[in-house]
Structures are given as C-alpha cells and as structure tokens.
Amino acid sequence: MSVISTRKEGDVLVVISNNPPVNALGHAVRAGLADALTQAANDSAIKAVVIRCDGRTFFAGADITEFGRPMQGPSLPEVVDQIEASKKPVVAAIHGTALGGGLEVALGCHYRVAVPSAKLGLPEVKLGILPGAGGTQRLPRVVGVEAALPIIVTGDPIGAKQAQSIGLLDKLVGEPSLEADAIAFAREISTRGEHPIASQRTDKIAEAVRDPEVFDRFRREHARKLKGFEAPEACIQAVKAAVDLPFAEGIKKERELFLKLVTGDQSRALRHVFFAERAAAKIDDIPADTPVIEIKKVGVLGAGTMGGGITMNFLSAGIPVTIVEREQAALDRGVAIIKKNYEATAKKGRLTEEQVAKAVSLLTPSLSYDDLADCDLVIEAVFENMDIKKDVFKKLDGIVKQGAILASNTSYLNVDEIASVTKRPQAVIGLHFFSPANVMRLLEIVRGAKTAPDVLKTSMELSKKIGKIAVVSGVCPGFIGNRMLSQRQREANKLILEGAKPWDVDRALVSFGFPMGPFQMSDLAGLDIGWSKETSKGETIRDVLCERDRRGQKTGKGFYDYDENRRPSPSPEVEQVIADFIAKSGKQQRQVSDQEILERLLYPMVNEGAKILDEKMAQRASDIDIVWLNGYGWPTYTGGPMFWADTVGLEKVASALEGYGLEVASSLKAKAGAGQKFN
Ligand code: 3HC
Ligand code: NAI
C-alpha cells in the first residue's frame, strides 16, 4: 500500500500520509504528495485539498536517514513549491508535531489548522543544518522576523496557541474532529477569490526592513548558548536574506547555506547525536515483553547535595517521595534547599506557584527508615563509603517491601558488593545521577551482575518520566563517565608538573568547547573532597594547596585567585608551588603546546572508552558519547569522544597514545590498524 492515500469528501480531496512512526518525508511520501496534488489539479470536481497524517503525528521532518545519500526526486523544496502553486487552496491539518520539513510543507499550504496540543517547529539547527525547503524564507514572511528568529535559530518548537497568536496557524480545531473540521474549513475558504501565498507576502517582513538591527540584537542575546555551533549563524544569514532579497534569490541563499552545512563535520556529528540518544534507550538483551514495576512512591536516603536534587526529579514528575536523614538538622537543611530551589524556579517564571505547592506537598521528610517500607523504589545517596553503604543496604533489605527496587547513587563503588549484603541482589541497581541532580540530563544506570531485567527496564522507563537520558553501564570503578574522567584528571595533573600552567590546560579545553577545564572544575567542586588535614602528607599539589587553605572558590582561592565577584585570575602562589614541586623532582619545565594539551587530555579518554567497550561495560560506542555530552559538557557539535576520535582518525589517536607511552586498548589498536571507526 502506498504511504500516501487520497479520499474525496465531496469537493474536498483529503490527502493522508501513513508512514510510521513519525511520517518522515522520505522519497515515497514526497512522490505520493506530488501525485496527490496532480490528481487534485486534474479533477474539476475538487475545489480544495486537505493534507493530514495518520498515526501519532503530522510530518515530523525530512527523513534524516536519507541525508548524506543521493536524493531521489521529487525533492522536498519541489513538493512544497508544487503545493504553494496549486490553484486549489491547500489546508494543512496538524496534530502531534509539525517539525522541520513538516512545517515547511505546512508553510507551502495556503492555510494551516491544528489541534490545541500540536507543536510546531524548525529543529533543523539541532541537526547542524537549516530548514532547507523554504522554511527560512517563508516563516519570516508569515510571522515576521522577530518571531521567526527564535524558532529557526534555537530550534525549539512552539505550542499551537502561540502559533496562532503569531499568525502561523489560521485556526485551532477540535482534537477528535481534526479531519472533519479541516474539511469544513477548506470548504469555507474555497469560495474566496484569493488565497495567501507565503512566498509572495512582504507585509510581515516590513518591520525588519525598517529595523535591520534585529539580527545583531538576536546574536548578542543568544551568543553564549550558540557559541561554537556553525548552523545558528547560517540560520540568521538565511533569515536576513528573506528580508534583503526577493524570494527566489533568498531560496538560492538558503540552498547554498544548507548544502554547505549538511556536508560538514558538525552536522554529521549532530545527526550522530540524534540517533545515539535514541539508541541509548535500547538494551539489547532485555526481551520486549519484560514487565515494568509500577513506581508509585519513591524513597530517598540522605538529604545532602545529591539526595535533594534526586528528590526534586520525582516530585516534579508528580511522584511522592519520602526522604530520610539520620539527624533532624540535616533533614531540615535538605528540605529547605529543595523548597528554595523550587521557589527560585518559580521566580524565573518556569513554574507556577501552584506547581511548586503541588511538588512540595508530595514530599514527606522523616528520620525513620521504617517510613521507606512501602516505597516501590528507594535511592540511597549517603556518604561515599562502602561500609556505610553496606550498613544502609542491610537495613533497607530488612525494611523495604519485596518487589521494590533498591538503588545506589554511588559515583565509584562496586554495586555488586553493595548488593551482596542483601538477600535480594536481583533488586539492586545503580542509579547514578549527576550534580545538580535536578538539572543535569544524564542518568547512568549501573547494571549489577544479578540485576533483574524488570528492575533494569523499569529504571530505563522511569528515567524518561523524570526527563533524563539514561545510559546503561556495567560495574567498574567510576562506571563510564567518571572512569574516563579519571584519565583526563591524571594527565592534567601530570601536565602541570611538566610545565603547562593550570590556566593553559583549562584554556585549551575551553577553546575545544568544554564549559570549563579540569582545574576550574576542581576549584568549583572544592579541592578538599576526600582530603583531610589530619592525614595530609603534602605529597601532591592538591595537598599543599589545601594545607594553605586554597580549597577552591568557597575559600576565595584554589588553583586560581578569586575576586569578590568570583572572577578568577592566575595565582602566582600556585605557580610557585608547582615550580617547587618540579624543582624537587629534578626535572626541567618545558613549553607545552595547546595541541599537546588536547591530545594528552582527550586521547587517553578515548582509549579508556575503548577499554570500556572491550570489557563490555558499555553497550555501544555511541552510549559513551551520550554520557560525555550530557554529563560532562563535552561539546555537542563534535559528537562526543568516540565520534570525535573517528573524525580525528583512530590511527592518529593510537599512534599518539603510543608516543605518550600509554598502553593502547585492543579494540582501538585493531580498528586503527584496519582503518575502521567506532561508529
Ligand atoms: N527521520 C528519520 N527518522 C526519524 C525522524 C526523522 N525526521 N524523526 C524520528 N525518527 C525515528 C527515530 O529515530 C525513532 O526511530 P527508532 O524507533 O528506530 O529509534 C523513531 O522515529 C521514533 O522517534 P522518537 O523515539 O524520537 O519518538 P518520540 O515520540 O519521542 O519523538 C519526535 C517524536 C518529536 C518527532 C522526534 O522523533 C523528533 O524530534 N524527530 C526529529 C524531528 C526533526 O529533527 N525534524 C527535522 C528533520 S530535518 C529536516 O526536516 C530538513 C528539512 O528542512 C529539509
Ligand atoms: P552529602 O554529604 O552532601 O550528603 C550525604 C547525606 O547523607 C548527608 O546529609 C548525611 O547526613 C546523610 N547520611 C549519611 N549517612 C546516612 C545514613 N546512614 N542514613 C541517612 N542519611 C545519611 O553527599 P552527596 O554529595 O550528596 O553524595 C551522596 C552520594 O552521591 C555519594 O555516594 C556520592 O558519591 C554520590 N554522588 C555525588 C555527586 C556529587 O557531585 N556530589 C555526584 C554523583 C554521585
């Protein structure tokens, strides 16, 4: 059966796409649409056309899997032009998400109606490209430059109500009666003498002609968020072309920019990220019919930094949480921080007072483990110490109902060892959140040797419910993320003993695209994590800095000196401490180039990633990319460490590692030798 079918409803031709799961505009859909329009043109009984989609959504965009391959005609721009040129008015009837090429099809239509729950957007920029089927030229003509810029340049979709208010939608129609309402609307407008043609409109861009500053204002406002990405600037230039040039020339400019981006490294990387995110949700050896445990109530142990943030995730998702501490003061402090965080979010307008009240009402603070008895999931976030964790899990095992999941938020410890103290190791799993846990998107799900399939599957599904992106890791020290981070940290510490300054190391990483470097990160987290005055031997630079009360931002100085606004500057004292260490070792300081810094910090991480794969601690290379992109600020436009290594060339990476005297992982060596890639 063809993916496009047509049905006559009196004088209206209804064109229906059925291309699951998201009605992507692949070749068959494009060809089917073109044929349907020809049918409408040739049938004198037809006065108007309605285009709609079956299934869960209107066209969600071009078929991304066709990118990077020769395109089979008709192209999407040709189809959109054909729709717009139709003598009989065409109405787009939208439900679900009209995204990318989907919205461009709708913009080619003379009218657009949608159900109130629909979302409309041009997310191409997130794939490192720009709307390439006229979207950058038609949208500003329909809604004006001021409204079009954020939609095109940030890629975030808007709701139907907002779309109607800016003139993108002509009418909101009933959820269940979309088709019938669209047909009625089509019949009504078919009697009009003229129909709006987006490409011919100039009324809405007049404002930007008078105020060309609008583009620079937008660039300034969004500079931080867009830093490093190529596509946003191209989007801005394309919209500017819609203002400066006639439509046909604007389209040429759009095409030129699109072709440059779509064949570039960033777009390849961002497409990889799109599919990597979806792949991460799949666990290869869990059967599809594995049951899911219903999580109606969650328990959290420890109301510290992590316990509080973890709790907020569930409260925000409408799931009640009982939070347990060992003493009243810590409990009060933890609960107060949760409330303060919610109120701050409300102040920024991102939550209503009712939403805050609702979330807080779902929280039950307690000092008794017994109150965790009827929880379906308990997450432990107490101190990072194996003896304490074992003690806690023994207690939980005796109290919490059978069938519940017992999870640990440990950063490094062995989840199997923790599970071994319970009589139900199959119920134990690692749920490793990242700080701040209510903000960071990543959740590492640590699968123990005995973790049951339903416990794992439930954890994966739950992660979606609380807005996280989950990646499964095996049990190894530091799991995927922190295990690789340790490599980077070790090399950073070595580099400053060879002559690179901490700020040189940080600068190199920031210019690569990280939000901060390892020494800035240490200063932020505090140098004294895991350090104590009593046991300090002054053996490392960190020991000495802590002894001098240079413990990071919180003491006003760490690797850097901080002014009253927490602005950092290089510290002569730290330079001296490092120089003394080097002198004592009898080595000479040397110049270390930024290129060497990057290779020394990043290649060992790739190498560790390969070892993680060799040991089957990660399911796939792209999962490792997802961990680093979402938990550690690895720049998205490089695709993550493993994808980036593919771009650099594995042979180059392997030989550099050898040159630095590091043992190369067997899979990395093999792939490098065979000219292969991780992805
Ligand atoms: N092309 C190809 N496959 C797509 C696709 C697309 N545009 N959009 C989604 N898919 C696939 C996914 O890979 C996934 O496949 P899988 O089941 O094998 O993993 C499946 O469809 C379902 O997708 P999701 O898991 O993402 O489903 P959700 O219901 O969570 O989300 C969605 C639906 C909001 C539509 C989301 O899929 C999405 O954001 N899609 C991408 C939208 C997009 O970027 N459109 C622009 C494309 S570029 C373009 O249009 C260029 C044009 O200007 C020329
Ligand atoms: P924290 O020190 O801020 O909080 C721990 C809390 O647990 C304290 O409030 C303490 O009073 C409480 N506690 C200790 N023993 C308890 C017990 N037996 N019963 C009940 N409560 C008890 O520590 P943080 O940073 O929240 O870390 C908690 C866990 O999360 C650790 O395992 C840590 O490794 C892990 N983690 C920490 C991250 C971070 O960035 N801070 C990131 C990811 C994981």
Ligand 1 neighbourhood includes 267 CB (under 6 angstroms) = no
| Position in ligand 2 atom list of the atom nearest CA 525 | 40
Nearest-CA neighbor of 134 among 159, 157, 86, 100? 100
**pLDDT > 90? residue 282:** yes
DSSP string, 50-116: EEEE-TT-S--SB-GGGTTSPPPSSPHHHHHHHHHH-SS-EEEEE-SEEETHHHHHHHHSSEEEE-T
Q: Given CA atoms 117, 121, 123, 125 in this order, what sign does their dihedral have?
A: negative
Q: At 70, is the pLDDT very low, low, confident or very high (cuts 50, 70, 90)?
A: confident
Please compute, for residue 117, the number of CA atoms within 13 A of its CA located in the half-sphere on the CB side: 9
Ligand 1 neighbourhood includes 613 CB (under 6 angstroms) = no
Ligand nearest, relative to CA of residue 372? 2
What kind and span of H or E run contains 635?
Answer: none
pLDDT, position 380:
98
pLDDT, position 641:
98
Ligand 2: centre distance to CA 383 (Å): 4
Ligand 1 neighbourhood includes 518 CB (under 6 angstroms) = no
Ligand 2 neighbourhood includes 301 CB (under 6 angstroms) = yes
Ligand 1 neighbourhood includes 132 CB (under 6 angstroms) = yes
Ligand 1 neighbourhood includes 97 CB (under 6 angstroms) = yes
Nearest-CA neighbor of 545 among 519, 511, 565, 563? 519
Q: What is the mean pLDDT of residues 644-661?
A: 97
pLDDT, position 530:
82
| Position in ligand 1 atom list of the atom nearest CA 133 | 54
Ligand 2 neighbourhood includes 307 CB (under 6 angstroms) = yes
Query: What is the best residue among 3, 29, 64, 460 to mutate for testing ligand 1's pocket, by most ligand atoms within 8 Å of CB?
Result: 64
**pLDDT > 70? residue 9:** yes
Within 10 angstroms of residue 157's Cβ, the number of other Cβ atoms is 18
Within 10 angstroms of residue 55's Cβ, the number of other Cβ atoms is 14
CB 480 within 8 A of CB 473: yes
3-state secondary structure 253-321: HHHHHHHHHHCCHHHHHHHHHHHHHHHHCCCCCCCCCCCCCCCCCEEEECCCHHHHHHHHHHHHCCCCE
- What pLDDT digit, counting tens, does each position of 529-576 carry? 889 999 999 999 999 999 999 999 999 999 999 999 999 999 999 999
Question: Cα 597 to the chain's mean position, in Å?
Answer: 27
How far, in Å, are 439, 459, 535 from residue 331 at the CA level? 21, 26, 30
- What pLDDT digit, counting tens, does each position of 442-478 carry? 999 999 999 999 999 999 999 999 999 999 999 999 9
Q: What angle do CA 36, 39, 44 make, to 5 degrees?
A: 140
Ligand 1: centre distance to CA 25 (Å): 11
Dihedrals phi, psi of 433, to nearest 5 degrees: -85, 165
Rounded distance between C-alpha atoms, residue 193 and residue 575, angstroms:
78
Query: What is the best residue among 17, 22, 139, 272 to mutate for testing ligand 1's pocket, by most ligand atoms within 8 Å of CB?
Result: 22
Q: What is the mean pLDDT of residues 498-512?
A: 97
Query: What is the best residue among 324, 331, 337, 383 to mutate for testing ligand 2's pocket, by most ligand atoms within 8 Å of CB?
Result: 383
Residue 216: exposed, middle, or buried by beta-carbon count in 10 A (0-12, 13-18, 19+)?
A: exposed
Q: At 68, is the pLDDT very low, low, confident or very high (cuts 50, 70, 90)?
A: confident
How far, in Å, are 185, 293, 492, 517, 521 from residue 633 at the CA level? 48, 33, 17, 10, 11
**pLDDT > 90? residue 658:** yes
| Position in ligand 1 atom list of the atom nearest CA 62 | 50
Q: Pick the residue whose CA is nearest to atom 36 on ligand 2.
A: 411
pLDDT, position 495:
97
Strand 111-114 to strand 90-94: parallel, antiparallel, or no bridges (unpaired)? parallel
CB 508 within 8 A of CB 317: no
Ligand 1: centre distance to CA 64 (Å): 8
Query: What is the best residue among 301, 306, 337, 483 to mutate for testing ligand 2's pocket, by most ligand atoms within 8 Å of CB?
Result: 306
Active-site residue among 84, 104, 230, 254? 104
Q: Pick the residue whose CA is nearest to atom 31 on ligand 2.
A: 384
Sheet holding 469-473, edge to edge: 363-366, 321-324, 298-301, 377-380, 405-408, 428-433, 442-446, 469-473
Q: Pick the residue whose CA is nearest to atom 8 on ligand 2.
A: 304
CB 476 within 8 A of CB 612: yes
Q: Alpha helix (H) ranges present in 386-476?
A: 386-399, 415-420, 453-465
Ligand 2 neighbourhood includes 435 CB (under 6 angstroms) = yes
**pLDDT > 80? residue 165:** yes
Ligand 1: centre distance to CA 99 (Å): 9
- What pLDDT digit, counting tens, does each position of 128-163 carry? 999 999 999 999 999 999 999 999 999 999 999 999
pLDDT, position 77:
97
Burial letters for 417-444: b for 16+ Cβ neighbours within 10 Å, e otherwise? Answer: ebbebbebbebbbbbbbbeebbebebbb
**pLDDT > 80? residue 127:** yes
- What pLDDT digit, counting tens, does each position of 361-419 carry? 999 999 999 999 999 999 999 999 999 999 999 999 999 999 999 999 999 999 999 99
pLDDT, position 67:
87
What kind and span of H or E run contains 377?
Answer: strand 377-380
Q: For residue 118, give every residue at least 6 positions away whose Cβ sits within 8 Å of its Cβ, in sequence order, or none.
A: 58, 94, 95, 96, 97, 98, 159, 160, 163
**pLDDT > 70? residue 1:** no
Ligand nearest, relative to CA of residue 482? 2
> What are the structure tokens assigned to 384, written together?
């990072």
Ligand 2: centre distance to CA 268 (Å): 40
CB 268 within 8 A of CB 458: no
DSSP string, 180-199: HHHHHHHHHHHTSS----GG
Q: Pick the residue whose CA is nearest to atom 19 on ligand 1.
A: 278
Ligand 2: centre distance to CA 302 (Å): 6
Range in 23-27, 76-80, 350-354 with the lowest mean pLDDT? 350-354
Ligand 2: centre distance to CA 624 (Å): 25
Ligand 2 neighbourhood includes 173 CB (under 6 angstroms) = no
Please compute, for residue 532, the number of CA atoms within 13 A of its CA located in the half-sphere on the CB side: 2
Mean pLDDT of the chain: 97
* Helix, strand or coil, per DSSP, at residue 384: coil
> What are the structure tokens assigned to 377, written together?
């999931």
Ligand 2: centre distance to CA 318 (Å): 24
**pLDDT > 70? residue 59:** yes
Q: Alpha helix (H) ranges present in 421-497?
A: 453-465, 481-496
Q: Pick the residue whose CA is nearest to atom 52 on ligand 1.
A: 101
Ligand 1: centre distance to CA 109 (Å): 22
> Does the active-site annotation cover 498?
no
> What are the structure tokens assigned to 554, written together?
């919180």
Q: For residue 477, give every residue at least 6 positions away whose Cβ sits within 8 Å of its Cβ, in sequence order, or none.
A: 412, 414, 483
Ligand 2 neighbourhood includes 305 CB (under 6 angstroms) = yes
Ligand 1 neighbourhood includes 22 CB (under 6 angstroms) = yes
Dihedrals phi, psi of 469, to nearest 5 degrees: -110, 120
pLDDT above 90 covers a percentage of the chain that reads: 96
> Does the active-site annotation cover 213?
no
pLDDT, position 523:
96
pLDDT, position 69:
83
Rounded distance between C-alpha atoms, residue 436 and residue 382, angstroms:
16
Ligand 2 neighbourhood includes 430 CB (under 6 angstroms) = no
Ligand nearest, relative to CA of residue 325? 2
Q: What is the mean pLDDT of residues 421-439?
A: 97
Strand 4-9 to strand 12-17: parallel, antiparallel, or no bridges (unpaired)? antiparallel
Rounded distance between C-alpha atoms, residue 182 and residue 537, angstroms:
77
Q: For residue 573, give every residue at least 6 positions away whose Cβ sits within 8 Å of its Cβ, in sequence order, or none.
A: 548, 550, 557, 561
